[in-house]
Chain A
Amino acid sequence: MDFWPWLSLAGLGAFHGANPAMGWLFAVALGFHRQSARIVWLSLLPIAVGHAASIATVLAVMVAFGAVMDLRSLQLIAAAFILAFAGYLAICGHRHRVRVGMRAGMAGLAAWSFLMATSHGAGLMLVPAVLSLCLADHAGMAGMAGSLSVSLAAVAVHTGAMLAVIAAIALVVFSWLGLAGLRSAWINFDRLWTLALGATAIILLIW
């Protein structure tokens, strides 16, 4: 069994987790507001759940399309959609209506994380890796059921890596570093994400 797709899923999980806009910063902020390390840890869970729900939704849509069309068409449609989405982000930016603030509860955090991951196209980045896993799997147990179980495993691996990274960063920032470093260390993840989405589309095209 090919190891690389799993590694890339985990790597993308780490990449998503490192982005302050995906939740560790929110968890740390809530911890500072309520002066509680426990709040930091508790907040990470709904953030991970929201993220997982977002990418699972994207992968479910992909699997559904995969059930009714051939691989090449699916790749082309996915690539076109991802390119259009990256173009939209590049032109229109990542700003959206703000629905969740600093008094957020656990449900609010999960909803916020879902919206952030979805609007940033987190799940789209996983499409090539999950597609290749489904293909490798096809020889054995063909069809949608196999694709679904592979996709669920992909969500688990990705979210596990993401959770590990947001937990590690949140711990270090909350307990030792503080937030002063944000001023210089917060590089423009929005640009990196747009580039990553572009690369995802290209991978699908030249497959």
Chain B
Amino acid sequence: MTTWRPDPSFYPSPRMAAKAPKETLAYVAAFDPDRQRPDAIAVVDVDPASSTYSKIVGQVDMPNVGDELHHFGWNACSSCLCPNAPHPHVERRYLVVPGLRSSRLHIIDTKPDPRNPQIVRVIEPAEVAERANYSRLHTIHCGPEGIYVNALADRDGKAPGGIFLLDHDSFDVLGQWEMDRGPQKLAYDFWWHLGHDTMITSEWGTPDTFENGLVPEVLLNSKYGRRLHFWDLNKRKHVQVIDFGEEHQLVFELRPAHDPTKAYGFVGCVISLKDLSASIWTWYRDGNQWAVKKVVEIPAEPADPDLLPPVLKGFKAVPPLVTDIDLSMDDRFLYVSCWGTGDMIQYDVSDPLAPKETGRVRIGGIVARATHPKAANGALNGGPQMVEISRDGKRVYFTNSLYGAIDPQFYPEGIDGWMVKLDVGDNGGISFEEAFFVDWPKGHRPHQVRLEGGDCSSDSYCYP
């Protein structure tokens, strides 16, 4: 399986990766919220010169129903070029696709025909439980020691959730990653600063508090996750915890700077219990410690209770619900999905402690129901959610579904899936690409997007 030369999609530095060729295909996780038919990875044509541009041109169905495909990743990426753990003679070829609900892992080969990927291996939940003691598989990152998978719970569906490793080549489950987890119990996202030997993890909750939807009592008592954990990436030891305080709930998506010499990154907090606002926080190095600072607060918008779902009527406001963020390869622009209000906001984060808004579009939204030039139906539901940026930073793609059991709490009539694309101005500014709108086939909802050859949340780098 090894090659003579490094995979051409591996780049030593984010600077070089930003010059990569344009993507022509996007892989999108699509799930059936009713758990009646298999979830799928859909292949979307994103090549404007193609006759099937903006259409789903392929699909691979999972062998079971009810997986709840969510996030997924590549078997190998630019971190294979790292000098301390070099193994660059592998192909970026397989998508590693976990089921968040089923805890099943699918290995999907994109090589013989990228438009017609095939499942080559399925790792059953029992194997993950047996070898790593985890379940509820969430996020995938390729990294120095193999493929890292995080899990939101242990094999019994309880805390602690954590991370385990898969072998690059065989995809065998190698075992639990943590050697000393310290006070960490809850899990959600993870990523790292390769240049600072640091892993960072965030928190959601145990499966009993989200698999049937968010539990208001848990939320209002601030029992969902609100802490960041910092780890020694090589010793696999917990080194620091930062609590965002009782007001802040659901500290989710982690986006460290791509430049490995920089020691800062961004994390979104979905909701404040004080005023329903959402916030963006920057973590950074402060002496010998990590520190955090709230750098953006996005307020809730007052709304007519008649237009609000039951869970929000009493508040008479739409929360922004920042559920995903993504950082461009040059660490300049941060994209923030406001799944509640329907905004996608672009910030210039050249100064990571003082972001400046440089662009905003609105589509869908709990109250706004904003439309898209190419949408047949004039009132879109769902809102900006999983967002992905092309390596050159010129194109941004996103979809509109969050999680099967939570979607109806905020969009009670259900979500009709869509995927859209933004064009990015040279110095910021975003606008809809009018010719790109995927009206997602009924029965499935789209979630995470991965771009052919890599994107801004798939690869990490060891060289500046």
**A binding-site residues for B, Cβ under 8 Å:** 20-21, 25-26, 28-29, 32-33, 93-104, 112, 179-180, 182-184, 186-188, 190-191
Contacting residues, chain A, for B146 (C-beta < 8 A): 95
The verdict on B128 contacting chain A, using a C-beta distance below 8 Å, is no
Report if A188-B4 is in contact (Cβ < 8 Å); known contacts: A21-B86, A29-B83. yes
Report if A101-B234 is in contact (Cβ < 8 Å); known contacts: A20-B83, A29-B462. yes
Contacting residues, chain B, for A96 (C-beta < 8 A): 85
Main secondary structure of the interface of B (DSSP, over half): loop
List B residues 158-207 near A (Cβ within 8 Å). 167-169, 194-197
Main secondary structure of the interface of A (DSSP, over half): loop
Q: How many B residues touch the partner, as a band?
A: 35 or more
Report if A179-B13 is in contact (Cβ < 8 Å); known contacts: A29-B463, A98-B145. yes
What distance in Å separates the Cβ of B165 from its nearest Cβ neighbour in chain A?
10
Among B83, B197, B234, B463, chain A packs the most CB atoms within 10 A around the CB of: B83
**Contact (Cβ within 8 A) B84 A98:** yes
What distance in Å separates the Cβ of B181 from its nearest Cβ neighbour in chain A?
18
Closest 3 interchain pairs by CB? Answer: A101-B197, A26-B83, A25-B83
List B residues 81-125 near A (Cβ within 8 Å). 81-89
What distance in Å separates the Cβ of B375 from its nearest Cβ neighbour in chain A?
41
What distance in Å separates the Cβ of A44 from its nearest Cβ neighbour in chain B?
13
Complex Cα spacing A189 to B169, Å: 18
Complex Cα spacing A168 to B11, Å: 23
Per-residue CB contact flags for chain B residues 370-409 toward chain A (1 = under 8 Å, else 0) read 0000000000000000000000000000000000000000
Contacting residues, chain B, for A103 (C-beta < 8 A): 195-197
**Contact (Cβ within 8 A) A93 B87:** yes
What distance in Å separates the Cβ of A75 from its nearest Cβ neighbour in chain B?
30
**Contact (Cβ within 8 A) B6 A26:** no
Complex Cα spacing A183 to B15, Å: 14
What distance in Å separates the Cβ of A108 from its nearest Cβ neighbour in chain B?
9
**Contact (Cβ within 8 A) B8 A93:** no
Q: Which of A104, A112, A188 contacts B89 (CB 8 A)?
A: A188
Q: Which of B8, B144, B234, B464 contacts A32 (CB 8 A)?
A: B464
The verdict on B325 contacting chain A, using a C-beta distance below 8 Å, is no
Complex Cα spacing A182 to B5, Å: 9
Report if A101-B233 is in contact (Cβ < 8 Å); known contacts: A25-B83, A29-B462, A94-B87. yes
Q: Which of A95, A112, A183, A184 contacts B84 (CB 8 A)?
A: A112
Report if A33-B6 is in contact (Cβ < 8 Å); known contacts: A25-B83, A179-B13. no
Report if A187-B8 is in contact (Cβ < 8 Å); known contacts: A29-B463, A33-B261. no
